Structure 1
Amino acid sequence: MIAETICAAVSAAGLGIAAVTAYRKRFLAATRIAAYALVPAGLVMIGAVKWISHMAFSLTSWAGFGVLALAWLLFMTTRTIERRTGGTRKERRAAARAAAERGAGPVEPAASAPSLGPGTRPAAQPRPAAREERAGEDFSDIEAILKKHGI
């Protein structure tokens, strides 16, 4: 009963504001305000306010929200644990089988695995020689440019 009265008062106040806005020759804004003001009245007429107020003051509905929150918390907890342990039990078994087929030992988590396998790195060349060659090439290019311009 109180919720319906409040909605009726809000609608009446909104329509009053819309009338003042229309008096100031702002018809588009007045129409928009009137539309917003009519929403609470419509909700009272279809019974939505009664249903919502009944649900808001019902102990059973709040217990239902609590059960839903607990279910969500359990889902998120299990998902966090799965991420930390390396996936679901099925995913860990498949990874262990794949490692056994390759002849590797127990599977380590992906984060600690090396980014390159053993022996895939090319033979190391002496770094200073490579720098000197690059430097010589760079100067030869510069010399060619300077000769082209007559400098």
Structure 2
Amino acid sequence: MPAADVVLLPLCIGLGLVGVVVALIAFTRGRRGRALQGLAFAVGVVALYLTGLLRLVWDAVVAVVRWATGNVFDLTAWIGFGALALAVVLWVVGGIVARRTRRRTKAEAADAKGQPRVGTGPAAPAGRAPAKAQPAGRAPAQKPAQDDDMAEIEALLKSRGIQ
């Protein structure tokens, strides 16, 4: 019997018995669904052992533990972890910069077309549309301050010809 089986077989038997006991307790209390779930747990643990999948998980855990203990005092591994952390930070910062650049590019394209800039940052005042020529004799109506979302919706409606 391999060393893994010495640990896994009693573990599976114990977990299977726990599942059966939980199923019996749930069944006596009238909880049929929970009883079926406990039985499924007991059968599932035994099935994992019989198919060899539990051995596969065991081997993976052992490999990860060996790898981790071997790399604790390895300078090369720590340099690699530092490089990996740097790569993650650069990836996140690059995404943020790309998102801001895309917004700025859209705003510059809107300026080139003569459309009002809406919700693009400090260059565009929030909630203000470009000044239109007012008929003589009428004072311009003072609009209440709007948030960026409403100004953006308003600009979209105006661009589609909806007042």
Residue of structure 2 in register with 1:110 after alignment: 120
Aligned partners of 1:14 and 1:74: how far apart in 2?
47
Give the counterpart of 1:7 among 7, 12, 17: 12
The question of whether the paired residues in 2 share the 8 Å contact of 1:11 and 1:37 is answered with: yes
How big is each residue's C-alpha offset from its partner over 1:112-146, in whole Å with a ceiling of 9 and x where there is no partner? 21232332386346xxxxxxxxxxxxxxxxxxxxx
Residue of structure 2 in register with 1:87 after alignment: 101
Q: Which runs of 5+ in 2 are unaligned?
A: 72-80, 142-163
TM-score, normalised to structure 1, is: 0.50
Aligned partners of 2:128 and 2:52: how far apart in 1?
66
TM-score, normalised to structure 2, is: 0.47
- Say if 1:39 and 1:74 are closer, same or farther in 2 by CA, change over 3 A: farther
The question of whether the paired residues in 2 share the 8 Å contact of 1:55 and 1:61 is answered with: no
Q: Per the alignment, in what secondary structure is the counterpart of residue 87 of structure 1?
A: helix
Residues paired across the two proteins, number: 114
Q: Which has the larger radius of gyration?
A: 1
- Say if 1:100 and 1:47 are closer, same or farther in 2 by CA, change over 3 A: same
2:42 paired with 1:37 = yes
Give percent identity, aligned residues only.
17
By how many angstroms is 1:110 displaced?
Answer: 0.6
The question of whether the paired residues in 1 share the 8 Å contact of 2:107 and 2:120 is answered with: no
Greater share of helix:
1
How big is each residue's C-alpha offset from its partner over 1:26-57, in whole Å with a ceiling of 9 and x where there is no partner? 47243332122211111112222111122222
RMSD: 4.2
